[in-house]
Amino acid sequence: MPIREAIILAGGLGTRLRSALPGLPKCMAPVNGKPFISYVIDELHKQGIERFIFSLGYQHEILTAYINEQYTSLEIEYSIEEEPLGTGGAIQLACKHARGKNVIATNGDTLFKVNLEELSSLHNDRKADCTLALKPMVDFDRYGVVELNNDLSIASFKEKKFYHEGLINGGLYALDAERLLQRKLPLKFSFEKDYLEVFYTEKKLFGLVQLGYFIDIGIPEYYIRAQNELVAGY
């Protein structure tokens, strides 16, 4: 059954974009007339996500005010960090607000046009702990590489360095929220380093290659790219 609930991580400080975004959280960066996070929300909603859990921290009042004003028809809940918990801690805290067993989890500063029905289907069929949406890339050094076994389980995570080609973790997941909470992980941890790269050897983590549009505005160069590639009304 398709997953209808999503966690959006939107608590980042945006330090590398600070010169372009004085006084704004990273995911509120304006892109052609509207905050970047609205492109993420709209894409998820278009694909059937009905309930949103926003994981917030830095300047959360700005985000909640915008979302409450612009998305009155959506079912929304907020998970607010009192202190930075890392990506894993933030997801773990947000999972406590989930109503279903499985959720989509993604970053508010990354738009990845994933087929959520395909991702949900693989995740459910494999009874996975977590299923990663993977993006093929060429000539890159900003990301590590994810390798898959024939059954689409994760074979390995490779460190960041220059690669001529490879699959990257697109930062969008189908996640078994119940199982994550049962692991009794620390309050603060990295989802990538302390969860994915630790537990993939249990063969309950899978990857699905997706060719859809991908942009991460974490650095100024990619933020400028987003201005050119995304149009208001998308």
What's the pLDDT tens digit per position in 128-173? 999 999 999 999 999 999 999 999 999 999 999 999 999 999 999 9
What's the pLDDT tens digit per position in 184-204? 899 999 999 999 999 999 989
What's the pLDDT tens digit per position in 73-99? 999 999 999 899 999 999 999 999 999
**H-type alpha helices, 22-103:** 36-46, 60-70, 86-95
pLDDT at 206: 98
CB of 43 within 8 A of CB of 36?
Answer: no
> Which residues share a beta bridge with 110?
216
**Position 68, amino acid:** N
CB of 214 within 8 A of CB of 111?
Answer: yes
Given a cut of 80, is residue 24 above it in pLDDT? no
CB of 26 within 8 A of CB of 34?
Answer: no
What's the pLDDT tens digit per position in 100-112? 999 999 999 999 9
| Structure tokens that stand for 48 in this block | 């059937």
| Structure tokens that stand for 152 in this block | 């689409």
pLDDT at 151: 96
Given a cut of 80, is residue 17 above it in pLDDT? no
pLDDT at 12: 67
| Structure tokens that stand for 180 in this block | 């994550």
CB of 15 within 8 A of CB of 8?
Answer: no
What's the pLDDT tens digit per position in 27-74? 998 999 899 999 999 999 999 999 999 999 878 999 999 999 999 999
Given a cut of 80, is residue 20 above it in pLDDT? no
Domains and CATH numbers, the chain: 5-228 (3.90.550.10)
The number of residues in the chain equals: 234
Report the SS3 class of residue 101: coil
